[in-house]
Structure 1
Amino acid sequence: MQALERYLELYERFGNAGGAGASAETSLGQIAEALYCTERNAKLVLRKLEEEGLIEWKAGRGRGNRSRLVFLADKGELLFGASKSYAEAGEYNKAYELLRAYGGDTGAGERFVDWMNGRFGFGKEQKEGTDVLRLPVYQPIVTLDPAEAMFSLSGHLILQLFDRLVQSDRTGKIVPAVAHHWECGAEGMEWTFHLRKGVIFHNGKELNAADVVYTLERLRERRNGWIVRTLDRAEAISPRIVKIYLNKPNRLFLRFLCSVAMSVLPCDLGGQSEDNYWRRPAGTGPFQIESWSEDRVILQANPHYYQGRPHLDSVDIVVMPEEGLLGRDRDVLSWQQLLCEPEEREIKPENGWELKESQDGCTSLLTWNMNKDGPHRTLAFRRAVDALIDRNAMIAELGDYRDRAASGFFFDPDSPRDHTDSGRQEVLQLLKQAGYDGEPVALAAYGKHAKDAEWIARRCAEFGIEVRLLIGTSENIHRYLGEADAILHAIVFPEEEVCLIENYVQEGSFVKEYQDPGMQSWITEKIDLALGFEQLQERQAFYGEIERRLKDEARISFLLHAKFYTNYHPSFKGVTINQHGWIDFKDVWRE
């Protein structure tokens, strides 16, 4: 491909006319300059391109006679073909880089996206009757380590690869997983789990009690270590009996055990180093890793899965650029559109599509950095910003999935849709009370929340507040946290109570990281007290106290609730949406 890229570099510099046959008068020196090489090397490149039939090089003879470079291949066709070749070899990032660098107005990007849409979906590359599902994702897969996972995509993939002691079914009931039975002491501080026989890791090793003990102990010093903060110790009583001792009552312990972070790993990672193990992690889940790179993950069905082999044979997940190849948020069809025949992919009733509303949703919020100096350290300033954000206007102007104004973390279907906004004079009075002198405020946000952040910045400008936006991706957003005065983000609560606690205490959580030490200590104390109560209503009193203080002190401004909607086509069976907003691969099948 090196010759191709040299051709494209020369075409960018000298091929002013489109298509094959474009030509330009130039000199060997200019060629060398364009290729960042010596004239000697430039001659070698030109000779190679001529041998491959890509150019004609007519060297000028004599002083003052310029040479002529003729481009024989159509740039767009060549670029499209090369991008396809990279993608077919699984080197998607190289295809994206090529299109970004040289695509321009050639139309190659549009053609490549259309071609990719044709490759995504069910059974596009069947081998001897095997069923393959290829799907796009729009964020990098940062980790598959349950102890480090923060994002929903990582969580979803971990659920495909690993199992937990217990799990929550679709009704919220806790049911057996690798543990078939359990008992709890009267005070909720001693738990005994009995493990199934014949649960096999992907590397052939049978799961036993030592694996569970290792998993729990390994969590202590990891990002998700909050989930074992009440753990005193775990003991392998026998190969199939684990006893867990807590240092204080935790009535949510079974719910904690359902979490992604509690996925059981093989003891000592099967004797491998961390680096080697995570290149191809072995769990006990319905799928196993065939390969994993920065732009692609291939899962193969686990034929020995104790809850039944998946119907799909393989799932091929392709990581697409977050910003899109064509300057749009999304260039590729949604995964729902990929679960039907190509001629039925347009979402309309006559093609059989139905619109369904998910029971889950997310809440967007503005969290202030209480560990950084700035105008936001004044309560009156934070209240002024909260007061000037007209939630109803945001919904009306931005539309899409934004549903109603938020007054807390959780969506309340009985709450009124109308939000009473403060008047201009009230906002100005608060800014005056704060002694605001026009100092700019830095606001961080993910790219997917950029429209909301831009809306807030425009609204703030109407009151003389300059907002500097720091828009990041899921990979680099944390580099802005120390610089930002606030962050606009959204929270999904697949396991309401557990996820709420995670939001307060997980390392890396924006809500936790932006609280000062005194406030964080107070929150942790309230959560510890809540976990000692058996009744949900009693625990909710503590959660409500935390939320009210965060809101009253304007440390958090709750913005909008968004509902998840999905378009569903009946071509496929067994399609269900899990708590991470993804389909459960294991149960998907087709007649």
Structure 2
Amino acid sequence: MLGEQYLMLHRKLADGAEGTSTKVTLEVIAATLYCTERNAKLVLRKMEEKAWITWKAGRGRGNRSVLTFLANREQLLQESARQWAEKGEYKRAFELLRTYGNDIRTNESFVEWMNGHFGFCKEQEGEQAKDSLRLPIYRTIESLDPADCVYSVQSHMIEQIFDRLVNYDNETGRYLPAIAHYWESSDDGTVWTFHLRKGILFHDGTELTAHDVKYTVERLRQGKRNGWIVRELNQVEIVTPRIVRFWLNKPNRIFIRFLSAICMSILPRHLAEPDEASYWARPTGTGPFIIETWNEERLVLHANPHYYQGRPHLDTVHIVIMPEQAMHYEVSWENLLQDEDASQADNGIGDVVTVETTEGCTSMMTWNMTKPGPYQSVLFRRAVDLVLDRKALVRELGEHRLFPARSFIRDKKTSEYQELCDPVLAQSLLEQSGYDGMPIVLGTIANHAKDAAWIKERCAEIGIPVIIREERMDTILRPDVMKEMDCIVHALVLPGEEVCLVENYEQNSSFVKELMDPALREWVRACIDCALASRDAKERFGHLKKIEDRMREEAQILFLAHTRFYAHLNASYKGIVINRLGWLDFRQIWRV
């Protein structure tokens, strides 16, 4: 782009602001622009036509020319960044700002422009106007494979592309038909049979059958992160092309809930089995949206016109993967869907409504019980627990933090929780533990950096130095990185039902599982098996609560705060639902 070339020349050749002149040869200009002298002449001519420069060519061989810079660099930098952004090249746009904007105040105005660039818009396609939603995210979508998904953003995108046999409604506790329209189970909870709908099509037009279900479920056994969900599966039987039966080694009264988990999203066997590498470059499912583009900078989804549960109202969703350096600009879908043009406000639809859920995240600090350190002493862990004033954490950090946490799940008594914060007793326990002053390495990601900094300050009050190690979401899950952490601050999305708790204890890459005392793992698995065999929900939660109670009493997990999902949105947006993952339901949203 011509503007970027101007910035390159100015940075290399100018000593001051606009109006600066410098003597230079055409050879130097060509080298600066990485082009031939002939092309350099063309670039200079175009800049002169735009009145960005004046160029007085030197006469005679070896005589230098005079180049005078006239253009407003701030304006050119913003314009160039916007041009890249409009092409979907957001990474390039921010690289420009970082490279040439050190002495130019452009970031704030560029972010202001981005706020208008994102959000809901009408896109003209021929004679037809289509509804489009453009949203930013701040983490790479490394995988859309349900068998390996860990983070909520991946899970949400997977839900847009794939379907499961059944869906679970968190509000009512009911199971809703999806790919399966009817199901039944044996009295002992070891045999489950599902009847599939007719006419459900994958995005390529192929009809889904029981063979796809069998392939999907058995594939989870192949060393996948979410293989925990089929550890007691004996076999998958294809009764007919539209009837599939699951045989379990042990009773599981909520196996139907397992089948509604995102990792159980059904894949097309005819596409995925022959060449997985090719398939996962652009996966297809039966879901409400079809992938048009997926790369390191964006994910573009188009509405599935043949979706069996009804075509989405939106035509296109653009998920823009923002570069890491853009995180602190705080451009998010929550504030993108607030502001309205003045003309709209006059129509009475400029009001703001609040949408929230009863669910959210629970933040916590988990000790790494798999490596040596002072935290192997329960007295040390309890000392840290006692110095963390959770009410102060919620009060001082605010934002989405609602209440101090004492459990994975927020219930009706959460707001009444009276924590014990006693720095004096904490100091005494620390001395009894024999602590020698060794620094503690506290791992975290950007989302929890404020919590980590707060914990560091509290620990310093009783003489525990903390080194914060911030990692990206993809690197912190690596086993070699995780082993270097003494503890990790993280959060779990737990809608308040059993399967999420089981996943928390059994999923590969779950911090709670990976950092758990190895001696506890078999005991935890036995508690889970008892829970799954229980007919009564209260009894199931009782078995699972035994695990949580032990880990809390031994201070292996220090619960921090319960957060919530909410957004203040313009009333012109309809069908707004925040799902259990804290994301908009793309299929339902539309606009007046």
Cα deviation code 1:44-68 (max 9, x no counterpart): 7854642442655668899999875
Whether the aligned pair in 1 keeps the contact of 2:161 and 2:286 (CA below 8 Å) is yes
Closer, same or farther in 2 for the Cα pair 1:427/1:25, shift >3 Å? farther
1:537-552 alignment runs, 5 A limit: 537-552=538-553
SS at match of 1:525: helix
1:431-442 alignment runs, 5 A limit: 431-442=430-441
1:79 aligns with 2:77: yes
CA distance in 2, matches of 1:350, 1:292: 35
Matched residue, 2:534: 533
Closer, same or farther in 2 for the Cα pair 1:425/1:25, shift >3 Å? farther
1:258 aligns with 2:260: yes
CA distance in 1, matches of 2:218, 2:142: 23
CA distance in 2, matches of 1:382, 1:457: 14
CA distance in 1, matches of 2:297, 2:219: 28
Deviation for aligned residue 1:87: 1.8
Matched residue, 1:316: 318
1:334 aligns with 2:333: yes
SS at match of 1:183: strand
Closer, same or farther in 2 for the Cα pair 1:485/1:344, shift >3 Å? farther
Closer, same or farther in 2 for the Cα pair 1:567/1:339, shift >3 Å? closer
Matched residue, 2:146: 146
Whether the aligned pair in 2 keeps the contact of 1:59 and 1:67 (CA below 8 Å) is yes
Give the number of equivalent residue pairs: 580
1:70-219 alignment runs, 5 A limit: 70-127=68-125, 128-169=128-169, 170-219=171-220
Whether the aligned pair in 2 keeps the contact of 1:31 and 1:42 (CA below 8 Å) is no
CA distance in 2, matches of 1:487, 1:29: 55
Deviation for aligned residue 1:563: 2.5
Deviation for aligned residue 1:496: 2.5
Deviation for aligned residue 1:192: 1.1
SS at match of 2:277: helix
Bigger mean CA deviation after superposition, 211-220 or 527-536? 527-536
Cα deviation code 1:242-273 (max 9, x no counterpart): 11111111111011111100000011435652
Deviation for aligned residue 1:341: 3.2
Closer, same or farther in 2 for the Cα pair 1:71/1:195, shift >3 Å? same
Closer, same or farther in 2 for the Cα pair 1:308/1:381, shift >3 Å? same
SS at match of 1:568: strand
Cα deviation code 1:266-318 (max 9, x no counterpart): 11435652221122211001111111111111111111111111121111111
- One-letter identity of the residue aligned with 1:84: R
Bigger mean CA deviation after superposition, 355-364 or 417-426? 417-426
TM-score w.r.t. length of structure 2: 0.90
Deviation for aligned residue 1:439: 0.9
1:153-552 alignment runs, 5 A limit: 153-169=153-169, 170-221=171-222, 222-270=224-272, 272-324=274-326, 328-330=328-330, 332-335=331-334, 337-338=336-337, 341-343=340-342, 351-417=350-416, 419-479=418-478, 480-494=481-495, 496-552=497-553
Deviation for aligned residue 1:109: 2.8
- One-letter identity of the residue aligned with 1:96: F
CA distance in 2, matches of 1:145, 1:246: 24
Whether the aligned pair in 1 keeps the contact of 2:115 and 2:336 (CA below 8 Å) is no
- One-letter identity of the residue aligned with 1:300: H
Closer, same or farther in 2 for the Cα pair 1:27/1:381, shift >3 Å? farther
Closer, same or farther in 2 for the Cα pair 1:495/1:396, shift >3 Å? closer
SS at match of 1:354: strand
Bigger mean CA deviation after superposition, 115-124 or 201-210? 115-124
Closer, same or farther in 2 for the Cα pair 1:178/1:340, shift >3 Å? farther
CA distance in 2, matches of 1:58, 1:433: 81
Deviation for aligned residue 1:210: 0.2
Bigger mean CA deviation after superposition, 231-240 or 470-479? 470-479
Deviation for aligned residue 1:166: 0.7
Whether the aligned pair in 2 keeps the contact of 1:179 and 1:193 (CA below 8 Å) is yes
- One-letter identity of the residue aligned with 1:577: I
CA distance in 2, matches of 1:521, 1:405: 30
Cα deviation code 1:385-413 (max 9, x no counterpart): 11111112222221222222111111123
CA distance in 2, matches of 1:362, 1:101: 37
- One-letter identity of the residue aligned with 2:115: N
Whether the aligned pair in 2 keeps the contact of 1:118 and 1:342 (CA below 8 Å) is no
CA distance in 2, matches of 1:118, 1:344: 15
Whether the aligned pair in 1 keeps the contact of 2:8 and 2:33 (CA below 8 Å) is no
Deviation for aligned residue 1:573: 2.0
CA distance in 1, matches of 2:425, 2:526: 35
Unaligned 5+ segments in structure 1 are none
Whether the aligned pair in 1 keeps the contact of 2:349 and 2:571 (CA below 8 Å) is no
- One-letter identity of the residue aligned with 2:107: G
Cα deviation code 1:63-99 (max 9, x no counterpart): 9998754334332222222222222222222112222
Bigger mean CA deviation after superposition, 3-12 or 456-465? 3-12
SS at match of 1:130: strand
- One-letter identity of the residue aligned with 1:216: V
- One-letter identity of the residue aligned with 1:306: Y
- One-letter identity of the residue aligned with 2:44: E
Closer, same or farther in 2 for the Cα pair 1:333/1:145, shift >3 Å? closer
- One-letter identity of the residue aligned with 1:50: L
CA distance in 2, matches of 1:61, 1:384: 80
Whether the aligned pair in 2 keeps the contact of 1:59 and 1:68 (CA below 8 Å) is yes
Structure 1 vs Structure 2: percent identity of aligned residues? 48
Closer, same or farther in 2 for the Cα pair 1:60/1:552, shift >3 Å? farther
CA distance in 1, matches of 2:182, 2:339: 40
Matched residue, 1:564: 565
Closer, same or farther in 2 for the Cα pair 1:436/1:68, shift >3 Å? farther
Unaligned 5+ segments in structure 2 are none
CA distance in 2, matches of 1:558, 1:577: 25
Deviation for aligned residue 1:5: 4.6
- One-letter identity of the residue aligned with 1:511: V
CA distance in 2, matches of 1:487, 1:63: 66
SS at match of 2:309: coil
TM-score w.r.t. length of structure 1: 0.91
Closer, same or farther in 2 for the Cα pair 1:68/1:433, shift >3 Å? farther
1:17 aligns with 2:16: yes
